[in-house]
């Protein structure tokens, strides 16, 4: 039997990762429902948790099918649902944190009122929090968008890399370049 390709070697790990995240999402659903806060964010949190659970389950099942059928395109298709699931569970966790965090920050409105209006302060806090949320989840947002919108040539190159038909080109992200810039690496 032929040696497994790179994507086939990674499929088992992807299935485990999907399963762990699905378990986290299921626990988060129960946690979200039992949380004492009753806000609009609770609805967002529960819906994001439920959807992420289903996307992780779909991804795990689909990855298993892709491995059995030796279909790299199907494997990549289910990576997309994994990325969406991560963004959604991140959104659920972020919604819970924000629902608990915002009232505490708003206690400082009077102190900040000398510098900006209360409305501006509240909007600034929300924009800053949403910006942090995007930064923390950027890798998964980027990967999902890449799978959807990258041109056909780059996508086919990626499939060839996963099938060991083409040597992968290293992609060093900004943070990695900054961290190792000093070392000259």
Residue 129, pLDDT above cutoff 60: yes
- Both tokens of residue 117? 């209006």
Is 117 part of a structural domain of the chain?
yes
User: What is the pLDDT, as a whole number, of residue 154?
Assistant: 93
Mean pLDDT of 146-167: 94
Residue 113, pLDDT above cutoff 90: no
Mean pLDDT of 112-127: 78
Is 159 part of a structural domain of the chain?
yes
Report d(CA 183, CA 185) in Å as an integer.
5
User: What is the pLDDT, as a whole number, of residue 170?
Assistant: 81
Q: How many domains does the chain have?
A: 1
Is 63 part of a structural domain of the chain?
yes
pLDDT digits (tens, 9 = 90+) for 18-52: 999 999 999 988 888 887 777 778 888 899 999 99
Report d(CA 14, CA 82) in Å as an integer.
9
SS3 content of the chain, % helix, strand, coil (to 5): 80, 0, 20
The residue ranking higher by pLDDT, 32 or 1, is 32
Local confidence band at 168 (pLDDT 50, 70, 90 cut-offs): confident
Residue 11, pLDDT above cutoff 70: yes
The residue ranking higher by pLDDT, 156 or 3, is 156
User: What is the pLDDT, as a whole number, of residue 165?
Assistant: 92
Is 1 part of a structural domain of the chain?
no
Burial of 174 (0-12, 13-18, 19+ CB in 10 A): exposed
- Residue numbers of the domain that contains 11: 6-181
pTM listed for this prediction: 0.85
- The chain-wide mean pLDDT, for the chain, equals 88
User: What is the pLDDT, as a whole number, of residue 110?
Assistant: 63
DSSP 3-state of 144: helix
Is the CB of residue 58 less than 8 Å from the CB of residue 25?
no
């Amino acid at each position: 039997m032929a040696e497994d390709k790179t994507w086939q070697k990674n499929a088992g790990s992807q299935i485990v990762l999907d399963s762990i995240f699905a378990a986290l999402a299921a626990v988060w659903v129960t946690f979200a429902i039992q949380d004492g806060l009753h806000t609009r964010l609770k609805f967002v949190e529960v819906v994001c948790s439920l959807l992420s659970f289903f996307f992780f389950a779909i991804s795990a099942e689909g990855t298993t099918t892709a491995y059995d059928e030796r279909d790299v395109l199907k494997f990549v298709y289910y990576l997309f649902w994994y990325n969406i699931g991560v963004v959604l569970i991140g959104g659920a966790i972020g919604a819970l944190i924000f629902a608990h965090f915002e009232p505490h920050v708003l206690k400082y409105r009077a102190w900040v009122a000398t510098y900006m209006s209360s409305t501006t302060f509240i909007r600034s806090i929300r924009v800053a929090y949403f910006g942090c949320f995007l930064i923390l989840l950027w890798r998964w947002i980027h990967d999902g968008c890449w799978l959807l919108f990258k041109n056909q040539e780059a996508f086919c190159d990626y499939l060839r890399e996963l099938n060991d038909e083409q040597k992968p080109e290293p992609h060093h992200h900004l943070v990695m370049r900054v961290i190792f810039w000093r070392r000259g690496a």
